[in-house]
Chains A and B, each alone.
Chain A
Amino acid sequence: MVETSAALEPVDRAREADAPHSLVVRFGADKPLKLDAGVDLSPFQIAYQTYGTLNTARSNAVLVCHALTGDQHVANIHPVTQKPGWWETMVGPGRPIDTERYFVICANVIGGCMGTTGPASTNPKTGKPWGLDLPVITVRDMVRAQAMLLDHLGIGTLFAVAGGSLGGMQVLQWAVSYPHRVFAALPIAAATRHSAQNIAFHEVGRQAVMADPDWQQGRYFAEGTNPRRGLAVARMGAHITYLSDAALHRKFGRRFQDRDNPTFSFDADFQVESYLRHQGITFVERFDANSYLYLTRAMDYFDIAADFDGVLANAFKDTPTRFCVISFTSDWLFPTSDSRAIVHALNAGRARVSFAEITTDKGHDAFLLDEPELFAIVRGFLEGAAKARGLESAHR
């Protein structure tokens, strides 16, 4: 049984969803978001953070795309958890994505719960949270919304788009949807489609949420409940897929938690159990259960080749974008073979592509962690791209 904790009350999370600690742009009835589901979302809002300064030529903008449970708080203290930003090792002054040189933007995705319109946001037509009345969102919808944000900011072409996992999917979708707005693309630990195994894992997570009686058919805000246990279990299962057998063994082995002997009960005897429970509990404090359903669904529906008669290479035919594809040896959720498929398609499309596989035992989550080789590659790739783009170096 997962313990409950002093989680944010539903009303507080709803507040973050509608009036976040972020910059917000609101699009009115004149600018609807045309969703793949065939309906217009209007009005809607996007919450985003920026770092660094946009140069006068407006040519140094880097869009960072966040992953499933990430948000726009890339490189600042998170307003809800008070923890450092999720990619502070990558983004910041002197970091590989150097905010002294680039103007970095990160927006909460459509369907998210940190201030961009999602199921926890208030539906203006009813005055209540959208819940499951929100149309199903796709990765293409997320990218379309980000393009509207860039229009609003007056940024035509991005110097680079970077992200891992779902963020990497958005990077690839950016290059396909708006090839002339992306100078350089960095899809990390990503794929051009979600595999059957990954859809299966997501389905288990969603079923865990929906099996929690507190989920209340998605109307938990109205009922004053919160499906904490279901969402925590979903997170625990998913978290295992982000690591690797080797990393779990290195970190926890079979060691006991605060005890020398097993208790002959179903208490968290093992460190790895305790760790997963902690991951589950802290996650529900900051994340909306319905958002989890929507965003996992968006990943499941992602399949770039499907939009090009099943021929992935056609998606990237004669693309002007330069790519740096990165994978990790121990990532079994988005394995190197997925990245290699991207590279093959890019080669067939005559794209300029770099591809590196980084040796690590940290699994899928390696893109978020301290991986010096990852930093060196991202830095070097951006350095080369900046030279080609004619961006001045930071120290001139």
Chain B
Amino acid sequence: MLKQLKQDLTMAEIARLPGGARVDLLVVAEMVERGARVLDVGCGDGELLRLLAETRNVDGRGIELSREGVNEGVAKGLAVIQGDADTDLADYPDDAFDYVILSQTLQATRQPRLVLEHMLRIGRHAIVSFPNFGHWKIRLQVGIAGHMPQTDNLPYSWWDTPNIHFCTIRDFRHLCDVAGARIEKAVALNAWGRALRFNAPWWFWNLIGEQAVFLLSRQGGSAD
């Protein structure tokens, strides 16, 4: 079974890079209106910003913690700053952006709730993508094998992981309630990063979605 899992993961890695862009980034990009003002929090080397600029013609900005990622992004001509999602979102004025994106970064923030609240404050929409800790493979690794999970999306050992706030899809929906976010759209992705496009109840997504992407807006806000 372990062998099969490893094979799956290798396959997933190959499937992740058709034409250079990660499939999960394409799902995020699809949610963004053309020409929008976008802030990508935890933008890495700027791959999503570049994709958004090329395919959606957005006015994009990025924040990234790692100096290498920032310098690479700036050298590509992207508007990226070195900063921390936990501390630096407070500087931005209300409604500064159409979309604030947190791609695969939520689980590495110290205060996910505060980060999400700031995102909803400074953007008309928030888009959050995260690895689903409720996925069956993870449940098997913890529940049956009895060790902390390691997968393609979560390759770290427990002692050196930057990910300190894992959640499941169910947990994230709870956070949305607490933080005052309205869920406009939610997509679960399979191990290959592709959207699972069929109707199913939440508990099912929570079991088979390896990642999830949520499009949110402020509750009571006039989003559209």
Q: Write the nearest CB–CB distance from A86 to chain B, whole angstroms.
A: 24
Contact A324 B74 (CB under 8 A): yes
Contact of A355 among B77, B81, B92, B93 (CB under 8 A): B81
- SS class of chain B's interface: helix, strand, loop or mixed? mixed
A204 within 8 A of B: no
Query: Restricting to A309-339, which residues have a CB under 8 Å from any CB of B?
Result: 322, 324-325
A84 within 8 A of B: no
B170 within 8 A of A: no
What are the residues of chain A within 8 A of B77 when measuring CB–CB?
A: 380-381, 383-385, 387
Q: Write the nearest CB–CB distance from B125 to chain A, whole angstroms.
A: 17
**Interface readout for B53-70 with A: 1 if CB under 8 Å, 0 if not?**
000000101000001001
**Interface readout for A146-187 with B: 1 if CB under 8 Å, 0 if not?**
000000000000000000000000000000000000000000
Give the residue name and chain of the B residue nearest to A326 (CB): B74
**Interface readout for A101-117 with B: 1 if CB under 8 Å, 0 if not?**
00000000000000000
Given A350-B93, A357-B67, A359-B67, the answer on whether A322 and B75 have CB atoms closer than 8 Å is no
Contact of A377 among B61, B74, B81, B91 (CB under 8 A): B74
In the assembled complex, the Cα of A385 lies from the Cα of B74 at a distance in Å of: 11
Contact B79 A344 (CB under 8 A): no
In the assembled complex, the Cα of A325 lies from the Cα of B79 at a distance in Å of: 10
B80 within 8 A of A: yes
What are the residues of chain A within 8 A of B83 when measuring CB–CB?
A: 343, 355
A358 within 8 A of B: yes
A356 within 8 A of B: yes
What are the residues of chain A within 8 A of B96 when measuring CB–CB?
A: 350
What are the residues of chain B within 8 A of A239 when measuring CB–CB?
A: none
A347 within 8 A of B: yes
B78 within 8 A of A: yes
B163 within 8 A of A: no
What are the residues of chain B within 8 A of A343 when measuring CB–CB?
A: 81, 83
B76 within 8 A of A: yes
In the assembled complex, the Cα of A10 lies from the Cα of B5 at a distance in Å of: 81
Q: Write the nearest CB–CB distance from A347 to chain B, whole angstroms.
A: 5
**Interface readout for B106-147 with A: 1 if CB under 8 Å, 0 if not?**
000000000000000000000000000000000000000000
What are the residues of chain B within 8 A of A268 when measuring CB–CB?
A: none
Q: Write the nearest CB–CB distance from A367 to chain B, whole angstroms.
A: 15
Q: Interface residue tally of chain B, by bracket?
A: 20 to 34
Contact A380 B75 (CB under 8 A): yes
Query: Restricting to A350-376, which residues have a CB under 8 Å from any CB of B?
Result: 350, 352-359, 373, 376
In the assembled complex, the Cα of A381 lies from the Cα of B73 at a distance in Å of: 9
Contact B92 A354 (CB under 8 A): no
In the assembled complex, the Cα of A380 lies from the Cα of B70 at a distance in Å of: 12
In the assembled complex, the Cα of A142 lies from the Cα of B71 at a distance in Å of: 31
Count of chain A residues with a beta carbon within 8 Å of a chain B beta carbon: 26
Given A358-B71, A373-B71, A377-B74, the answer on whether A353 and B91 have CB atoms closer than 8 Å is no
Contact B91 A344 (CB under 8 A): yes
In the assembled complex, the Cα of A373 lies from the Cα of B72 at a distance in Å of: 9
A306 within 8 A of B: no
Contact A356 B93 (CB under 8 A): no
Contact A384 B91 (CB under 8 A): no
Contact B71 A356 (CB under 8 A): yes
Q: Write the nearest CB–CB distance from A172 to chain B, whole angstroms.
A: 16
In the assembled complex, the Cα of A356 lies from the Cα of B75 at a distance in Å of: 10
Contact B74 A381 (CB under 8 A): yes
B82 within 8 A of A: yes
Among B70, B74, B76, B91, which residue has the most Cβ atoms of chain A within 10 A?
B74
Contact of B79 among A348, A353, A377 (CB under 8 A): A353
Q: Write the nearest CB–CB distance from B40 to chain A, whole angstroms.
A: 13
A379 within 8 A of B: yes
Contact A355 B59 (CB under 8 A): no
Q: Write the nearest CB–CB distance from B81 to chain A, whole angstroms.
A: 4
Contact of B91 among A325, A347, A358, A373 (CB under 8 A): A347
Q: Write the nearest CB–CB distance from A20 to chain B, whole angstroms.
A: 36
Contact B76 A384 (CB under 8 A): yes
Given A377-B71, A380-B74, A384-B76, the answer on whether A353 and B81 have CB atoms closer than 8 Å is yes
What are the residues of chain B within 8 A of A325 when measuring CB–CB?
A: 81
Contact A348 B67 (CB under 8 A): no
Give the residue name and chain of the B residue nearest to A355 (CB): B81
Contact B74 A356 (CB under 8 A): yes
What are the residues of chain B within 8 A of A383 when measuring CB–CB?
A: 77
In the assembled complex, the Cα of A376 lies from the Cα of B76 at a distance in Å of: 9
**Interface readout for A377-396 with B: 1 if CB under 8 Å, 0 if not?**
10111011101000000000
5 contacts between A and B (CB under 8 A): A347-B92, A352-B59, A353-B61, A358-B71, A376-B71
Give 18 A-B pairs besides A324-B74, A356-B70, A380-B75 with Cβ atoms closer than 8 angstroms. Answer: A325-B81, A344-B88, A344-B91, A347-B88, A350-B93, A350-B96, A352-B59, A352-B79, A353-B61, A353-B81, A354-B73, A354-B74, A355-B81, A356-B67, A359-B67, A383-B77, A385-B77, A387-B77
